Amino acid sequence: MIEIWKNRLSYLFIAPFYLLFVIFIMIPVISGIFLSFTDFNTIEFPRWVGWRNYQNLLSQDTVFLQHVLPNTFKFALFVGPLGYVCAFLLAAVIAQLPRLPRTSFALAMYAPSLTGGIAMVVIWQVMFTGDRTGYINSFLLKWGIIHQPIFFVLDEKWLLPVMIIVAIWASMGIGFLAILAGILNVDKQLYEAARIDGTSNNLQELWYITIPSMKPQMLFAAIMSIVHTLKTGGIGAQLSGSNPTPNYAGQLMMNHIDDYAFIRFELGYASTVAVVLLLMMYGLSKLFGYLFGTKEGV
């Protein structure tokens, strides 16, 4: 207590952050965990049901077990690693450019994460429209690859692959900027020393100098990639125009949460799905912390 009183001015400066953190992070998370053990329809007072929601989710919810969970893992398997690798490669290429072109290209890569639903509706729905006016269908028909238009965003065989393409395109967000900043801030003397020691090309410099020197930025980008991938849910609903998506083909965990929370008004069950999603994010974040963390800890 004496130390706290001595540093009271410092605590005063960080108080606004902690206050906002408690109000907008801690309280919602704790409330969500509590509601996951209840039956709550937004009108009546929450009724305690214990582990029943979790038992139903993991044993009786056929939509979750047969569609949502497999779709989420397939989606995350492609979007997470591919988006992360693409962000790193693009950042490595852009970092070699002069300052003005580098800034322009970085903004162009980062823009999709800002436009969100607008870009999705304006660009991707036009690209994958299920008639001859859609750019993809028009191209395939023109070259005789197909003979009938494909309903990309309504066909259950095509919806998830289209979602993966859109999500990878939209994944160049804060993680991409963190990687780019990390590459640009690597000490140039390390490259000079490496050339003296015998490195002969950019690939060796990238592997032996750049990557080991920017582990904190890579960790941050990996965590942001996890969050972006697992919290994605609106893509399928916006592309297909419905939630649930056609035959649950594009149904992800966020869609399942929205379905139960805002359509069925079963907030207790929706909170259960949200807690499971939170645990998945936490587990993957710890894994990447182990892979990219330093010996001093993260």
Domain boundaries of the chain, sorted by first residue? 36-292
* CA count, 13 A, side-chain hemisphere, 238: 20
Please tell me whether the overall predicted TM-score, pTM, comes out greater than 0.85 for this model: no
- Written as one string, the DSSP assignment of 20-87 is HHIIIIIHHHHHHHHHTTEE--SSSPPEE-TTHHHHHHHHT-HHIIIIIHHHHHHHHHHHHHHHHHHH
Q: How confident is the model at residue 294 (pLDDT cuts 50, 70, 90)?
A: low
| Cα gap 298→288, rounded to integer Å | 10
Q: Which residue has the higher pLDDT, 296 or 115?
A: 115
- The pLDDT, as a whole number, for residue 298 is 43
Query: Residue 259: CB partners within 8 Å, gap ≥ 6?
Result: 243, 244, 251
pLDDT of res. 114: 66
Split at pLDDT 50, 70, 90, the class of 297 is: very low
Predicted local confidence at residue 118, as pLDDT: 56
**Candidate ranges 112-116, 139-143, 202-206; pick with highest mean pLDDT:** 139-143
Task: Give the pLDDT confidence of 234-270 residue by residue, as tens digits.
Answer: 788 878 877 788 888 889 998 899 889 988 999 999 9
| Residue type at 204 in one-letter notation | Q
Find out if CATH 3.40.50.720 is the number for domain 36-292.
Answer: no
**What CA–CA distance (Å, rounded) separates 145 from 15?**
62
Q: Which of 206, 165, 2, 155 is nearest to 79 (CA)?
A: 165
Confidence of residue 59 (pLDDT cuts 50, 70, 90): very high
Is the bond preceding residue 244 a cis peptide, omega within 30 degrees?
yes
CB 86 within 8 A of CB 167: no
> What is the signed CA dihedral for 171, 175, 181, 185, rounded to 10 degrees?
-130
Tell me the residue type at 54.
Y
> Over the chain, what is the mean pLDDT?
83
Model confidence over 104-116: pLDDT tens digits? 888 877 776 666 5
Q: For residue 124, give the DSSP letter.
A: I
Alpha helix stretches (DSSP H) within 245-294: 253-258, 267-292
What is the residue type of 197? D
* pLDDT value of position 271: 95
Instruction: Kindly state the average pLDDT of the residues 20-36.
Output: 93
- Local structure of residue 254 (DSSP, 8 states): H
- 223, 282 contact by CB (below 8 A): no
Predicted confidence at residue 122, as pLDDT, reads 67
Average pLDDT over residues 39-62: 93
Q: Tell me, what's the pLDDT at 10?
A: 83
Question: Does the pLDDT value for residue 196 go beyond 90?
Answer: no
